[in-house]
């Protein structure tokens, strides 16, 4: 999320179905590393082009996105 914000990219459709849990283990290790990854950038947009562009899944969008399309990194959060 930080990398997206820093590069001015908005995902616009963050929901459980657009995430995957990536688990890695080292050979012989008893511990594993878990990383949640964001996928499906089909609705993604860049700032300032995203202003006024309502994109995403109703019910998962920020209220300001559903009402008037105010896209911002805060709406992704």
Q: Would you kindly state where each structural domain of the chain is located, as residue ranges? A: 2-76
DSSP annotation of 3 reads H
- CATH class of domain segment(s) 2-76: mainly alpha
Q: What six digits make up the tokens of 12?
A: 């616009």
Compute the distance between CA of residue 68 and CA of residue 55 in angstroms, rounded to an integer.
Answer: 11
User: Following DSSP, what letter does each residue of 7-76 receive, concatenated?
Assistant: HTEE----SGGGEEEEEEE-TT-S-EEEEEEE---TT-EETTTTTT---S-TTTS-HHHHHH----HHHH
Q: What is the pLDDT along the chain (77 residues), one digit of tens a residue?
A: 888 889 889 898 999 999 999 998 877 777 888 999 999 999 888 887 766 667 788 888 888 887 777 777 888 88
The pLDDT value recorded for residue 67 is 79
Predicted TM-score (pTM) of this structure: 0.74
The pLDDT value recorded for residue 49 is 72
The pLDDT value recorded for residue 39 is 95
């Amino acid at each position: 999320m930080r990398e997206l914000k820093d590069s001015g990219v908005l995902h616009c459709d963050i929901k459980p179905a657009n995430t995957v849990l990536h688990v890695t283990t080292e050979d012989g290790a008893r511990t594993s590393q878990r990383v949640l990854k964001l996928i499906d950038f089909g609705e993604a947009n860049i700032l300032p082009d995203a202003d006024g562009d309502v994109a995403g899944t109703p019910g998962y969008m920020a209220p300001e996105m559903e009402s008037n399309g105010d896209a911002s990194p805060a709406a992704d959060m």
